[in-house]
Homo-oligomer: A and B are copies of this chain.
Amino acid sequence: MKFVLTIGNTETAKIDGISAAGANPDLMVHTPSADAEILTYGEPVETPVVPVSPTGCPTPAVISRAVRECLEFETVVVDAGAASQTSAPSVEMPGPAGNDVREEVAVPEAEAKFESARAYGQALPDDEIVVAETIPGGTTTALGVLTALGERTDVSSSLPENPLELKRDVVSEALDASGLEPGDAAGDPLEAVAAAGDPVLTTVAGLTVGALESGTEVTLGGGTQMSAAAALVRHYGVTESFSQFTTSFIAADESSDVQELAADLDLDLTATDPEFAETDHPAMDAYVRGEAKEGVGMGGALGLAAESDVEMAAVRERVVAVYDRLLADVPEEHPAAEHAGTAAE
């Protein structure tokens, strides 16, 4: 089993109010690179930032890394188009980061990324992969893809109050810019992703198609972004079964259609509850309050933990350890610093 984290950026994340995957838009560009380093090394290595939301919720990479430390699974980072270089070892897809979806082309070289990811997915010797993502603004591009394909469009959010109206407005502009009506790209996933998606969605879809073609079991670890990736795979014509692991926080989010989408797309959906309310700690409290919910394969990692003989209490203990390690060296001016004290108490 290999845990494949796909990282990338889209300029869409810079639209005010779209994403909480970073303390502010300047730091947000580094979130995927930092997440990759946290998953790989247990802390950011050369990316000078610990991703936190504007309210201080630490990146879900903390949770995925904690599970990795408990289960010792192998990870690979696939760079679908990150705007900031990562020091995590990564497999490079061709082409740049994604544009603002309101431009005519949201994903330059979408087909090259898809085919490169597909070849890599075919070539991986593993029996099973879990595919994860980190891309700020990714639920908006997921909405874009689902809309272009004519699928259900209620996506989740890393923010406690889902700005769905804003996302719909952005997606409407995105489709206009590409001359598409909702549903026009049905059966043409590369058109949908190029017009209104992001580099991570096309890469996750390519990885999934390639892996399934070579007989590898695939689990998409994530929320409605993974629903959109799965929709791309189905619209490509793939009928093989594959699965989705997400968190109980996504499953409980009434603003999102993750369960209905899984049913529509014939995905076997599992939502895992890490019982964060059992532990009073700033690494976990924000999730209980409804923030973040998913990302960096958190639901995938928790699903693997639930399948293993590791207790969820042990995972939570490890989450605290990873969080404290991450925030121990945060400089005082860092947005996470005010929470560092809480962690040490």
Contact status of A125 and B76, CB under 8 A, knowing A87-B120, A91-B88: no
Chain A residues 81-95 with CB under 8 Å of chain B are 85, 87-92
Q: Mark A71-86, 1 if CB is under 8 A from B, else 0.
A: 0100011100000010
How many Å from the CB of A33 to the closest CB on chain B?
Answer: 12
Q: Which residue of B lies closest to A72 (CB)?
A: B72
Partner of A90, one of B41, B45, B90, B124: B90
Q: Establish whether residues A125 and B45, one from each chain, have CB atoms under 8 Å apart when the complex forms.
A: yes
Contacts of A77 in B (CB 8 A): 89
For this chain, the copies found in one complex come to: 2
Q: Establish whether residues B91 and A89, one from each chain, have CB atoms under 8 Å apart when the complex forms.
A: yes
Q: Establish whether residues B125 and A46, one from each chain, have CB atoms under 8 Å apart when the complex forms.
A: no
Contacts of A313 in B (CB 8 A): none
Contacts of A89 in B (CB 8 A): 76-78, 88-91
Contact status of A120 and B46, CB under 8 A, knowing A41-B125, A125-B41: yes
Partner of A87, one of B41, B72, B91: B91
Contacts of A45 in B (CB 8 A): 120, 123-125
Q: Establish whether residues B41 and A124, one from each chain, have CB atoms under 8 Å apart when the complex forms.
A: yes
Shortest Cβ-Cβ A-B pairs, 8 listed: A89-B89, A45-B123, A46-B123, A89-B91, A76-B89, A89-B90, A41-B125, A77-B89
Contacts of A88 in B (CB 8 A): 89, 91
Q: A46-B120, A88-B89 are in contact. List 12 more A-B contacts (CB 8 A).
A: A41-B124, A41-B125, A42-B125, A43-B125, A45-B123, A87-B120, A87-B123, A88-B91, A89-B91, A90-B90, A90-B91, A92-B92
Chain A residues 21-63 with CB under 8 Å of chain B are 41-43, 45-46
Contacts of A42 in B (CB 8 A): 125
| Alpha-carbon separation in the docked complex, A45 to B121 (Å) | 10
Contacts of A123 in B (CB 8 A): 45-46, 87
